Amino acid sequence: MKYEGREILSEYAIKVEGLSKTYGSVKAIQDVAFTVKNGEIFGFLGPNGAGKTTTIKSMLGLIYPDNGNILINGYDAIKHGKKAKEYVGYLPEKVAFYDNLTAYQNLCFYADMKQVPREICKPLLREFGLADAINKKVGGFSKGMKQRLGMARAVLGNPSILILDEPSHGLDPRGVALIRKKILQIRDEGTTVFVSSHILGEVQAICDRVAIINKGIIVVEDSIENLGSKLRLKPRLIIELETEATNFVEIVREIAGVEKVIAHGKILEVVCNPEAKAEVILKIGGMGEKIINIISEEPSLEDVFLKYTEE
């Protein structure tokens, strides 16, 4: 499937400025602002109740914000919502279909709505791992099968922007790998992808940049690498020893640059500055201890997420 889509009219695929929405006395989102560049995969992260869904529904015109501007490929999504949505494919967190229709019949229904040839429906279903379920009624589908069908529906008509809300929801590991591969392929073919997810490892594997929202406020927007550098997060050494790791906790803790030391049986976890890693290993080895294995883990998106939302 190649993206032949619509003309690019703006520097940004999505531009959100000063977005606010209040429900009674609850401020769901406050002055939310971020930009999504053309051709990138952008991750939108936050704890439950942080304002992710309110933001997405505002972008899609499903609710109206109290204040703010939303531009989709240069079109005002509030004033010219119908035109803006011509560029968008959407996967909601909870997908829904006509249970009494087959996968093929469901997809044909949406193809007709989008004025897309029905001929692409069966190839799309095969692309998303539903070759054996084309003529089966959706009422008997598992959550994962419905999720794959939802992805096929989202990409109907080759939209230039995809908005995916929890794309891995209900998928088994094989399904997760398939959807990840398709998202990367779609990006490489020119489509901009906006991904809202709570699976941090999944976002880290595919996203170019991320924004983190907490309590209705965007707390940071940057690349994953830059976020780790700004926070000065330290790598983690996981050292498997021949004897009990508790024997080395206090000794390693005294090394300059070591921030935290935890022992689990014969496993020693050390959080430290990059330059202290070698000294930790040499110190343990110099005491006559046999090191079975060493794993060095760089700061993850989970570390960044927790750091920015822990307050």
Torsion of CA 136, 137, 139, 140, to 10 degrees: -20
Which residue has tokens 């995916």?
A: 164
Q: In 3-state terms, what secondary structure has residue 180?
A: helix
Sign of the dihedral through C-alpha 94, 96, 102, 108: negative
**What's the CA gap between 253 and 71, in Å, rounded?**
52
Answer for the pair 290, 306: CB distance below 8 angstroms, yes or no. no
Residues of the chain with CATH 3.40.50.300: 12-229
**What's the CA gap between 241 and 264, in Å, rounded?**
11
In DSSP terms, 296 is beta-bridged to 237
Torsion of CA 268, 272, 276, 278, to 10 degrees: 40
Q: Name the CA radius of gyration of the chain, rounded.
A: 23
- Asked if the model's pLDDT at residue 1 lies above 70, the reply is no
Looking at 3.90.800.10, 1.20.58.340, 2.60.40.3950, 3.40.50.300, the CATH number of the domain 12-229 comes to 3.40.50.300
Q: In 3-state terms, what secondary structure has residue 78?
A: coil
The region of weakest confidence among 145-149, 160-164, 202-206, 212-216 is: 202-206
The pLDDT value given to residue 204: 81
Listed residue (276, 271, 268, 275) closest to 292, CA to CA: 268
Higher pLDDT, 65 or 5: 65
The pLDDT value given to residue 4: 47
- DSSP single-letter state for residue 27: E
**What's the CA gap between 150 and 291, in Å, rounded?**
49
∠ at Cα 110 (140, 81), nearest 5°?
A: 130
Which residue has tokens 């703010």?
A: 68
Per residue in 76-128, pLDDT (tens digit) is 998 998 999 999 999 998 899 999 999 999 999 999 999 999 999 999 999 99
Quickly state the pLDDT bin for 8 (edges 50, 70, 90): low
Residues of the chain with CATH 3.30.70.980: 233-299
- pTM for this model (two decimals): 0.79
- DSSP single-letter state for residue 137: B
The pLDDT value given to residue 2: 39
Per residue in 214-261, pLDDT (tens digit) is 999 999 898 877 876 666 677 888 999 999 999 999 999 999 999 899
CATH of domain 233-299: 3.30.70.980
